[in-house]
Amino acid sequence: MPTLEDAYRECERITYSQARNFAYGIRLLPPDKRRGLAVIYAFARRIDDIGDGTLPAQEKLDQLEQARQSITDLTGDGGDDQVLTALADVAKRFPAVPVEAFGEVIDGCVADVTGATYETFEELHHYCRCVAGSIGRLSLGIFGYDDDQAPVLADSLGVALQLTNILRDVREDYGNGRVYLPAEDLKKFDCALEGAERSTQPQFNRLMEFEIERARGWYETGLKLLPLLDWRSSACTGAMAGIYRRLLERIAADPTAVLRGRVSLPASQKAGVALRALTGRVR
């Protein structure tokens, strides 16, 4: 039977190998919080992997409901399931962690599996809060906070990060039958994603500029969270947010790049952002 230490090590392995952008921030935390946050991301990754996997839709939905039940029944005895074993221990060590928020992550994945689309930004905003704002609130339970505004700001920062993901992955998502950009925005800019990669399509550029500016506004609000956290937690959050905001600005410099392939930052730039976050500079 794996030990609790084994369970934490497995969660760290999952996080550092798969959540690479977030790993730069997580490594800035002290050991107890670093391990705790790795567990949060490991379970969130499990949910994402179900939604993004190759199983038939009904099997995905069944597995997502099983994941939801595992949170409801979290007792501390995960048996051979190392992630659940570690998560139960995190729930005991960090009682402020709102474990039930994983249910929102699952709701978002259910929307993906069932092919949900978004007519308005309000609908997309709800989805972003489910899949990313919830992670911000779960992370706050690890960080600790005193200000009642912290969960609201963590939610806003999560929305900013998810909007950045949506813009980065617009081509890949469309190829997988998923469209996250609100239908009202596509209509406003007379933009069709089908065939967009075969032209410079001025309408697509204008749409992207609009969405990028919207994401910048969510970063501006969400980054107000940093002064409410202790130094190391602030550095962790600042590094994560800084990497994604730098990615957003790279997309802004050439919006059609997202139609040609996956836009990313080199490891050296990510490391540089993390170092600046340690000094309280996030940009």
- For 178-193, what is the mean pLDDT? 93
Angle, alpha carbons 18-24-27 (nearest 5°): 100
The answer to whether 22 and 15 have CB atoms below 8 angstroms apart is yes
pLDDT at residue number 77: 60
- pLDDT 10s digits, 41-96: 999 999 999 999 999 999 999 999 999 999 988 865 656 899 999 999 999 999 99
- For 103-116, what is the mean pLDDT? 97
pLDDT at residue number 280: 66
- pLDDT 10s digits, 220-244: 999 999 999 999 999 999 999 999 9
The answer to whether 236 and 168 have CB atoms below 8 angstroms apart is no
- pLDDT 10s digits, 122-144: 999 999 999 999 999 999 999 99
pLDDT at residue number 36: 97
* Residue count (the chain): 283
The distance from CA 137 to its chain's CA centroid, rounded to whole angstroms, is 11
